[in-house]
Structure 1
Amino acid sequence: MDQRTRHLMEHLPYLRRYARALTGSGTRGDALVTRTLEWFLDGGGSTPETDTSREALYRWLNLLQDDEREPPEPTNHPVEAALNTLPETERRLYLLVNLEDLPIADAAEVLEIPPEEAMEGLTRAREAVRNRLTAVILVVEDDAIIAFDLSETVRGMGHIVCGNAATMDEALSLAAEHTPTLALMDIRLAEGDNGIEVARELRRQRFLPVIFVTAFPDDLAKRGLEHLGPVIPKPFTREQIEQAITRAVFTPAPEQAKEPAQPQ
């Protein structure tokens, strides 16, 4: 194996990672890498040795992808879906810097844009992705101290609390007004209301992920309703709440997740 080929093989894991992110598909990404390597090995890149740098290979991956004129595969993953809403140059810039760890000047060179333009584009891309991944969270808890603690944890993670509800009516009203993306739900609520019924009603209206935070963790299992959401028993730690929220935010929503209507 000559030195040129060894250089290409050393870069192969990085090329596959970038190509799979670029195309949104493992199969398409690997096929793109194969075409790029074939192009180089057949003499298409038989100019200076530096043409086998990672930057040069990323550039050729982009060019070959542009020749296909196919958008990335659709995805339900929140991060990938957020990236797919970006202008293509900003999406590639984000991938090169955040996924491939290229310095922004090198990423700008790959994309053949001025470094200043790259810096501005990366700032826009990061802000857009951050905004798409910021959850709007409804806290349904009748204990004011616990509700405050949950709300502070949510805000500390950079997410938004759209309101605190102590009853079913309050929860449904806030949900209708603010369209939250996640709910932290106690089971035993004020005025004899039940968080399980709130979650089921919200599911009948639209899919809303729910994390139950309750001193009665067995109530869901007793009714065979574990599918409504994960349970964090009280007393809880902030780390438990943070981990559960992160999992919920980064888990794609199922396509068919509404609670079926109950027979009259």
Structure 2
Amino acid sequence: MRVYGHELYDHLPYLRRYARALTGTTEAGDALATRCVEVVVMAPTRFGLDRGEGARLSLYALLHLLFDQSADDGAYDGRPAASPHPIERALAALPEADRRLYLLITLEGLSLAEAAQVLNLAPLDAVDHLKAAREMVRSAMTQRVLVVEDNALLAMEIGELVADMGHVVCGTAVNQREALSLLKAEKPTLALLDVRLADGSSGVEIARHLRRTRALRTIFVTAFDGDLEEMDARHLGQIVRKPFTAEAIRAAISRAVFMPRPVALI
């Protein structure tokens, strides 16, 4: 085994990364990767350690086999552990073969042909599975965005940026009353809020309500970020300072999409 130890060591970071994605947790992933190594050291040539880079595909296939055996043994249910992260939740909703194909290509950087080989899929079938997986993930990550802004031109500009990113503006409100009405009717998943609204209502109070009732992610778009400090509200969401740039809005939305859902306020 010492002859092949270096080759196995080179593959270990990939095995651990993929095993963690496959199982959904660091602990379970490391345990699965350890089992994989234990099997490989007993028969290194069987898993291609004498073939250089080609061994990587065999090792991924072995991880799948061991993970599926764990499900048969009752150690897992054959699916990843529940995760608070949106992308991981979206992937967990995929059929298992599609999830593995998506991970092998997007996370591990395999070609479609290589991933199909690992999963024992015909290349044309793999194309269909990948298209379906990407569409499901895209749909799951698309946000319904509530914009609370009393300046009509700014509200329109923010809405166009949201739409250009592939998300949906489910409503635009100019005050707290309209925002809470849209919350019930449109069920947003993300809110962009001004802090000081023309009728005297506060985007901070709207954000607190959204967090308390829906654990909603929020982004403050404001020239008065000092108000957030005074109202002890910085923890409620990201801040984009006015006058904003398109890049700042896009970056804040991208961060929000991939952040775990916040804990609801009590």
Q: Aligned partners of 1:16, 1:138: CA distance in 2, in Å?
A: 39
Shift of 1:16: 1.3
Match of 2:61 in 1: 59
- Residue 166 of structure 2 aligns with an amino acid whose one-letter code is G
Indicate which of 105, 111, 114 corresponds to 2:113: 105
Alpha-carbon deviations, 1:1-50, whole Å to 9, x = none? 65433322222211111111111122222222222222122127547644
8 Å contact kept, 2:47–2:59: no
Match of 1:249 in 2: 257
Q: Aligned partners of 1:143, 1:50: CA distance in 2, in Å?
A: 64
8 Å contact kept, 1:91–1:125: yes
Shift of 1:194: 2.0
8 Å contact kept, 1:171–1:198: yes
Q: Aligned partners of 1:33, 1:197: CA distance in 2, in Å?
A: 47
Matches within 5 A, 1:146-165: 146-165=154-173
Match of 2:7 in 1: 7
- Residue 25 of structure 2 aligns with an amino acid whose one-letter code is S
Alpha-carbon deviations, 1:200-220, whole Å to 9, x = none? 233343222221111221112
Q: Aligned partners of 2:230, 2:100: CA distance in 1, in Å?
A: 49
Q: Do residues 133 (structure 1) and 135 (structure 2) align?
A: no
Alpha-carbon deviations, 1:157-216, whole Å to 9, x = none? 111111111122211111111111111111222333222222223334322222111122
Where do 5+ consecutive residues of structure 2 fail to align? none
Q: How many residues align?
A: 258
Q: Aligned partners of 2:200, 2:17: CA distance in 1, in Å?
A: 53
Q: Do residues 43 (structure 1) and 50 (structure 2) align?
A: no
Q: Aligned partners of 2:252, 2:112: CA distance in 1, in Å?
A: 33
SS at match of 2:199: helix
8 Å contact kept, 2:213–2:264: no
Match of 1:181 in 2: 189
Shift of 1:106: 1.1
- Residue 17 of structure 2 aligns with an amino acid whose one-letter code is R
Give the TM-score, by structure 2 length.
Answer: 0.90
Q: Judging changes above 3 Å, is the alpha-carbon distance between structure 1 residues 32 and 167 closer, same or farther for their aligned structure 2 residues?
A: same
Q: Judging changes above 3 Å, is the alpha-carbon distance between structure 1 residues 16 and 201 closer, same or farther for their aligned structure 2 residues?
A: closer
Match of 1:78 in 2: 86
Shift of 1:253: 1.4
Match of 1:24 in 2: 24
- Residue 64 of structure 1 aligns with an amino acid whose one-letter code is L
8 Å contact kept, 1:39–1:45: no
Match of 1:68 in 2: 70
175-184 vs 6-15, greater mean Cα deviation: 6-15
